[in-house]
Amino acid sequence: MTALLGQVVAINGRIADLRDDVRTRVVGASEAGAGILAAEQLLLTVGRKLSALTDAPLLYDAPIGDQSALTTWWEHLTVPERRDVITALIRRLRILPGKRGRRFDPTRVKITYRK
């Protein structure tokens, strides 16, 4: 799964680079459009493989590698969709004991990711 997520990051990076190249006029819009279309098709293929491994079909839609887009994507998910994404990525979540009366302490959260 880690390799597939790496591919998603690389593909999203390639798409972002092509869009930047159009803005800076390194390539024309039609050339970049063809590259973006090919990258998006590859993203769908990788997404299907990732979905088959994780049972979280919407995970491949995540714009991994683009923090702003990822935040927006996450905010638009429903609670069940968020649960599916978390279940697909995390094998174990432990919250260690805290100090009495203290508010949430993120250093107590230990996450074991799926591989």
> What is the C-alpha separation between 12 and 43, in angstroms, rounded?
8
pLDDT digits (tens, 9 = 90+) for 23-37: 999 999 999 999 999
* 35-85 residue pLDDT tens: 999 998 898 788 778 777 766 556 667 776 677 888 888 888 888 888 888
Q: What is the pLDDT of residue 65?
A: 67
Spatial distance between the Cα atoms of 100 and 16, rounded to a whole number of angstroms: 46
